[in-house]
A and B are shown apart, each in its own frame.
Chain A
């Protein structure tokens, strides 16, 4: 595979019918799943053309999820930085407290269209697991969520939350016992249950059509933010910023701006403890092109192709791969990817809480940390829109522990 996309200009007209974003994406999965993926692609395309499907989803998003959520001018954060005007896209105000539910509501409706009664999902921080459990409870579907044992320890509140919604949370003790192992386990489940089970992947990763489908369901973030910015400022923002793990909130935020050439797009990866392998989860910053979890994208792997262990303070960004569209955006230069350390994210979380009265998720705090730097370097006439992808309630125990405080 050559660097086909390097010389190209990014477009929003991706992927093609075989799931290619430039050279990235496609399907690298066992034959057992191929037919199901083809069926899912067909069903998704039909659903998109079906006004009844769109109407039902829109209604759920407004009456159940609470959309549209506001684009909020962060006045004190702006004053603090002394530069660009900072706007927050408040995905933290959605039902379940994060952007993940935009995707699970869409995919649950799709599950019903396909006549399947059982749903499986993987989760890292637990936000996607909760959003899936909620969507399944709402429609009476059976729900099994795979979660690494290490993440179960870090995210107890969300585990309890999922169980309250009737979901079965299955601990995964293989490998690094985090998100990547949960995905392996969910894929494995799916291979033996694919006839009656739908796998709701929580990010823009995996084989085609998942990266496209999840991006589409999440694109409501960017569509709303774009219009809200036009309404508030009568122009588009100068820069849009979002954090990138697998890359779902950022893909949803960036996608509607891809063809707006004046808008700079910046993805913020988890820099962890530093640039050494195993100390971070900055796949686009430090990774190589490779294959993981059914698609071709940037991956953190060793010289043999074995996936490397990653570290981030944030369970939601603790992933050694990234969605193929982000790889396409990186190689075309459409999105600039940067890295923010654990400490910088933790500091940004506290700054935001004190100045704006908003406790952001530790994932979103990475985007905030970079926003503070970017705003300081921009003029007061500039506008930055940042995706506040989730609220920080789930993180309080971990944050307290890191700040040396005991909540028990």
Chain B
């Protein structure tokens, strides 16, 4: 293997980092920027309650004009996720979901006509499958990027190279606890966009956004040209405007996963749940367009 631990720690500005061949994610953000829109990026769990429902939700979100879709790979011990997403993962795994079914389910969608799909998966799953195999299979299925929430930038160099060699992006996370010197190292390893965690802690719905976040986003903006997307605790359309000048994208996780709980309920009317998800997505898409 060995992952190179010697990485430069000098405080260089990483603005010069240019992408020669644009990835799908980069192209998407460039178009949004030109139009003056923010990206709306919903998160959903794969396989809750089954892959056919996941395919329906992806199609629904695509038809509502969302900009990117993050697809969570259920994992048995998800320390980075809150109770709503963990419960969703547990439901999916309880039905015996396998990683290969996620790849197959996504591969059978017309992914070139859908928004870019980003795989959010624990490093435990990548490592077990073989990092290269996982990335290759995901990209072949139609994924355009990866978020590995338990792989800090310090350990991500090898994976970053593999992902980029496949023409995809490895998204890095910055937390409110991240000191500036560390953030610069993270930005050096990032591609696609930067996932800015808005509150310390795990994913979940919260009522407000901390003022420090705006400050951190402003500072990050001076350090990178990569789009800044804000996630963890974004509740709905009313929070979008606060972020408009500071961020490039909004990630919504548990709010949609909550809707998905309804898909697996006994006697569930799947179509009406899908419509609920679609209506919510609509409101977020509207809120993120140029005013």
Asked whether B79 is an interface residue with its Cβ less than 8 Å from the other chain, the reply is yes
Q: Is the CB of A307 within 8 A of B76?
A: yes
Closest-CB distance, B148 to chain A (whole angstroms): 9
Asked whether A12 is an interface residue with its Cβ less than 8 Å from the other chain, the reply is no
Q: Is the CB of B1 within 8 A of A1?
A: yes
Q: Is the CB of B128 within 8 A of A188?
A: no
Q: Is the CB of B152 within 8 A of A34?
A: yes
Asked if A32 meets B177 with Cβ closer than 8 Å, knowing A26-B155, A175-B76, the reply is yes
Contact of B79 among A4, A187, A303, A304 (CB under 8 A): A187
The distance in angstroms between the C-alpha atoms of A30 and B80, with both chains bound, is 6
The distance in angstroms between the C-alpha atoms of A35 and B175, with both chains bound, is 10
The distance in angstroms between the C-alpha atoms of A331 and B79, with both chains bound, is 28
Q: Is the CB of A30 within 8 A of B149?
A: yes
Interface size class of A (residues with CB under 8 A): 35 or more
Given the complex, which residues of A lie within 8 Å of B32, measured CB to CB?
none
In A288-327, the 8 Å CB interface with B consists of 288-294, 296, 299, 301, 303-307
Q: Is the CB of A292 within 8 A of B124?
A: yes
Contact of B173 among A4, A30, A174, A305 (CB under 8 A): A30
Asked whether A50 is an interface residue with its Cβ less than 8 Å from the other chain, the reply is no
Asked whether A379 is an interface residue with its Cβ less than 8 Å from the other chain, the reply is no
The distance in angstroms between the C-alpha atoms of A35 and B129, with both chains bound, is 29
Given the complex, which residues of B lie within 8 Å of A32, measured CB to CB?
80, 175-177, 197, 200-201
Closest-CB distance, A310 to chain B (whole angstroms): 12
Given the complex, which residues of A lie within 8 Å of B2, measured CB to CB?
4
Closest-CB distance, A296 to chain B (whole angstroms): 8
Contact of B124 among A26, A33, A175, A290 (CB under 8 A): A290
Asked if A305 meets B124 with Cβ closer than 8 Å, knowing A31-B197, A195-B200, the reply is yes
Q: Is the CB of A294 within 8 A of B128?
A: no
Interface string of B162-190 (1 = CB under 8 A from A): 00000000001111111100100010000
Interface string of A208-220 (1 = CB under 8 A from B): 0000000000000
Q: Is the CB of B77 within 8 A of A304?
A: no
> Whose C-beta in chain A lies nearest to the C-beta of B75?
A306
Asked whether A81 is an interface residue with its Cβ less than 8 Å from the other chain, the reply is no
Interface string of A265-306 (1 = CB under 8 A from B): 000000000000000000000001111111010010101111
> Whose C-beta in chain A lies nearest to the C-beta of B201?
A192
Q: Is the CB of A292 within 8 A of B178?
A: no
Closest-CB distance, B137 to chain A (whole angstroms): 12
Contact of B150 among A2, A36, A291 (CB under 8 A): A291
Q: Is the CB of A30 within 8 A of B175?
A: yes
Closest-CB distance, A366 to chain B (whole angstroms): 25
Given the complex, which residues of A lie within 8 Å of B82, measured CB to CB?
188
Asked if A174 meets B86 with Cβ closer than 8 Å, knowing A32-B200, A305-B127, the reply is yes
Closest-CB distance, A194 to chain B (whole angstroms): 7
Asked whether B123 is an interface residue with its Cβ less than 8 Å from the other chain, the reply is yes
Asked whether B202 is an interface residue with its Cβ less than 8 Å from the other chain, the reply is yes
Q: Is the CB of B155 within 8 A of A1?
A: no
Given the complex, which residues of B lie within 8 Å of A62, measured CB to CB?
none
Q: Is the CB of A34 within 8 A of B155?
A: no
The distance in angstroms between the C-alpha atoms of A174 and B82, with both chains bound, is 12
Asked if A291 meets B127 with Cβ closer than 8 Å, knowing A31-B152, A31-B175, A34-B178, the reply is yes
Asked if A305 meets B128 with Cβ closer than 8 Å, knowing A2-B1, A187-B79, the reply is yes
The distance in angstroms between the C-alpha atoms of A352 and B210, with both chains bound, is 59
Asked whether A28 is an interface residue with its Cβ less than 8 Å from the other chain, the reply is yes
> Whose C-beta in chain B lies nearest to the C-beta of A187?
B79
Interface string of A200-226 (1 = CB under 8 A from B): 000000000000000000000000000
> Whose C-beta in chain A lies nearest to the C-beta of B100?
A304
The distance in angstroms between the C-alpha atoms of A203 and B115, with both chains bound, is 44
The distance in angstroms between the C-alpha atoms of A293 and B79, with both chains bound, is 8
Q: Is the CB of A184 within 8 A of B177?
A: no
The distance in angstroms between the C-alpha atoms of A2 and B127, with both chains bound, is 12
Q: Is the CB of B155 within 8 A of A304?
A: no
Closest-CB distance, B4 to chain A (whole angstroms): 11
> Whose C-beta in chain B lies nearest to the C-beta of A23?
B1
Asked whether B151 is an interface residue with its Cβ less than 8 Å from the other chain, the reply is yes
In A140-176, the 8 Å CB interface with B consists of 174-175
Closest-CB distance, A351 to chain B (whole angstroms): 37
Given the complex, which residues of A lie within 8 Å of B155, measured CB to CB?
26-28
> Whose C-beta in chain A lies nearest to the C-beta of B232?
A32
Given the complex, which residues of B lie within 8 Å of A137, measured CB to CB?
none
The distance in angstroms between the C-alpha atoms of A180 and B124, with both chains bound, is 15
Asked whether A191 is an interface residue with its Cβ less than 8 Å from the other chain, the reply is yes
Asked if A35 meets B182 with Cβ closer than 8 Å, knowing A191-B201, A291-B150, the reply is yes
Asked whether A47 is an interface residue with its Cβ less than 8 Å from the other chain, the reply is no
Asked whether A42 is an interface residue with its Cβ less than 8 Å from the other chain, the reply is no
Q: Is the CB of B178 within 8 A of A188?
A: no
The distance in angstroms between the C-alpha atoms of A291 and B124, with both chains bound, is 5
Q: Is the CB of B125 within 8 A of A305?
A: yes
The distance in angstroms between the C-alpha atoms of A188 and B98, with both chains bound, is 25
Q: Is the CB of A304 within 8 A of B98?
A: yes
Asked whether B78 is an interface residue with its Cβ less than 8 Å from the other chain, the reply is yes
Asked whether B28 is an interface residue with its Cβ less than 8 Å from the other chain, the reply is no
Asked whether A48 is an interface residue with its Cβ less than 8 Å from the other chain, the reply is no
Q: Is the CB of A184 within 8 A of B77?
A: yes
The distance in angstroms between the C-alpha atoms of A30 and B152, with both chains bound, is 6
Interface string of B75-105 (1 = CB under 8 A from A): 1111110110011001001000011000000
Asked whether A18 is an interface residue with its Cβ less than 8 Å from the other chain, the reply is yes
Given the complex, which residues of A lie within 8 Å of B151, measured CB to CB?
28
The distance in angstroms between the C-alpha atoms of A191 and B80, with both chains bound, is 8
Given contacts A175-B76, A290-B124, 7 further A-B contacts (CB under 8 A): A31-B175, A34-B152, A184-B79, A303-B128, A305-B125, A305-B126, A305-B129
Contact sample, A vs B, 20 pairs, CB 8 Å cutoff:
A18-B5, A18-B154, A27-B152, A28-B123, A30-B150, A31-B173, A32-B200, A35-B175, A36-B177, A184-B79, A184-B86, A191-B80, A192-B201, A290-B128, A291-B122, A291-B123, A291-B127, A301-B124, A305-B99, A306-B75
B residues sitting closer than 8 Å to A (CB atoms) are 1-2, 5, 75-80, 82-83, 86-87, 90, 93, 98-99, 122-129, 149-155, 172-179, 182, 186, 197, 199-202
Q: List 9 A-B pairs, minimum CB-CB distance, nearest first.
A: A192-B201, A305-B128, A32-B175, A305-B125, A30-B80, A291-B124, A187-B79, A306-B76, A307-B76
